[in-house]
Structure 1
């Protein structure tokens, strides 16, 4: 997509490539231009537009539904952990108790790491 700006001619390019950005529909192009702040559009040489080109160069993406499902599952897991912690009837640990637990855990981890390196 080429267009004129106050400083001259410009071209809308792909995110990671200097190749021209292709659109499958005029609607998609107009929505993006609107987001960019363009308020006056003059269509020129529309007869040369080839929407099928956008389908040929469209990159494949991982299934967004799967990614969103995993994110939602993780969110539910974290929320359940936080809620369980809040509802835990045991008294809170003092800072000294917590420090002794941390020290013991660090010692365990160091012992495991030194055992693996040998």
Structure 2
């Protein structure tokens, strides 16, 4: 069986080398197979030779429609095993942690801004602010100098 990436499939399809397109189950997902002039082929991931699997028939249909395919066979549906979806689902704890940290930071910034807006003290003059910044800068440089010694 041949394997073609999306761009290779698109070129073959545009040149009339694809005779039929079929979506078939592969566990809980769906693969795209097609018959070309030189035999059966499968749509694979761009940088790998692994089959490109879609979570839903709809996902596969959208891609094929975008590529210009208008006739598609949905075959061997009795082999579809939707209960396996839980086994295949990728866990992204790193992404969940990043989103949690981003939300916490957002809350922290909003709290600081609100506190600043509600602060009854008069605003600092530019000169006062420059004095504070200079003191903080000197303090930070002293800390950094202490660490390098």
- TM band (smaller chain): 0.5 to 0.7
Shift in alpha-carbon separation, 1:8–1:104, aligned structure 2, 3 A = farther
- Kept in 2: contact 1:23–1:29 (CA 8 A): yes
| Structure having greater relative contact order (Cα 8 Å, sep ≥ 6) | 2
Higher strand share: 2
Query: Under a length normalisation based on structure 2, what TM-score does the superposition of the two structures give?
Result: 0.50
Larger deviation, residues 108-117 vs 40-49? 40-49
Deviations 1:38-74 (A, max 9, x none): 7765558889989899888765422655443333222
Residue correspondences, number: 118
> Unmatched 5+ residue regions in structure 1?
none
> Unmatched 5+ residue regions in structure 2?
1-31
Shift in alpha-carbon separation, 1:30–1:100, aligned structure 2, 3 A = same
Deviations 1:24-51 (A, max 9, x none): 4323323455678877655588899898
SS of corresponding position for 2:34: strand
Q: Aligned-pair distance for 1:7? A: 17
Q: What is the RMSD computed on CA atoms of the aligned residues?
A: 4.7
- Kept in 2: contact 1:24–1:55 (CA 8 A): no
Shift in alpha-carbon separation, 1:116–1:68, aligned structure 2, 3 A = closer
Query: Under a length normalisation based on structure 1, what TM-score does the superposition of the two structures give?
Result: 0.59
